[in-house]
Amino acid sequence: MATARATARNAAASLQVQLSDTRGHGWAADEPPDKGGTDTGPMPEELLAGSLAACTALTLRLYARRKQWRLDDVTVDVRFDAATPTPEGAVEISREIALHGELDDAQRARLIEIAQRCPIHRVLTASVRIATREAPGE
């Protein structure tokens, strides 16, 4: 996986955050009104769920294309509630994958197996270390 970089900036008193990447894409994150936000973008938890859903769908599409399988459509629904850990203290993420196309049972089973190998799945199920430091001020 290539090195990914995103920058978040919150310059106003609101909770809206402007995000950008090194390739020139921009998007926003926010909180819903009941949390003090203005709901102008997805919450951080939704961005994380979206990352897993997008990575899974793309991984399956690329695999099916390489195998020349008839995967006409794939829908990935990811849900998690970071505020409700399991009794062991872990956060549980559920992922439902709908595969549409002329696929036999073995192909469907293989695609579900391949979903476990998408890069974001691997990051979320690995031990992750986050190094944090203060950047020089302006």
Given a cut of 70, whether residue 83 has pLDDT beyond it is yes
* For range 110-131, the mean pLDDT: 95
* For range 62-78, the mean pLDDT: 98
* For range 92-110, the mean pLDDT: 97
Given a cut of 60, whether residue 40 has pLDDT beyond it is yes
pLDDT-derived band at 137 (thresholds 50, 70, 90) equals: confident
Let me know whether 120 and 94 are in one domain: yes
Closest CA to 74 of 45, 41, 107, 28: 107
Given a cut of 90, whether residue 90 has pLDDT beyond it is no
pLDDT-derived band at 95 (thresholds 50, 70, 90) equals: very high
Let me know whether 55 and 118 are in one domain: yes
Task: Express as a percent the part of the chain with pLDDT over 90.
Answer: 80
Let me know whether 61 and 103 are in one domain: yes
CATH of the domain at 91: 3.30.300.20
Given a cut of 80, whether residue 97 has pLDDT beyond it is yes
Given a cut of 70, whether residue 53 has pLDDT beyond it is yes
Lowest mean pLDDT across 15-24, 85-94, 95-104: 85-94
Contact partners, residue 78, CB within 8 Å, separation at least 6: 49, 50, 52, 53, 56, 93, 94, 95
DSSP SS3 for 17:
strand
Range of the domain at 24: 1-41
Average pLDDT, the chain: 93
Let me know whether 62 and 13 are in one domain: no
Considering the domain boundaries, does residue 117 fall inside one? yes
Q: How many domains does the chain have?
A: 2
Let me know whether 69 and 32 are in one domain: no
Alpha-carbon gap, residue 49 to 79, rounded angstroms: 6
Q: What is the pTM of this model?
A: 0.90
Let me know whether 70 and 120 are in one domain: yes
Let me know whether 52 and 105 are in one domain: yes
Considering the domain boundaries, does residue 138 fall inside one? no
Let me know whether 33 and 47 are in one domain: no
Let me know whether 63 and 84 are in one domain: yes
Considering the domain boundaries, does residue 122 fall inside one? yes
Q: Which pLDDT value is given to residue 3?
A: 86
Alpha-carbon gap, residue 123 to 86, rounded angstroms: 19
- DSSP conformational letter for 51: H
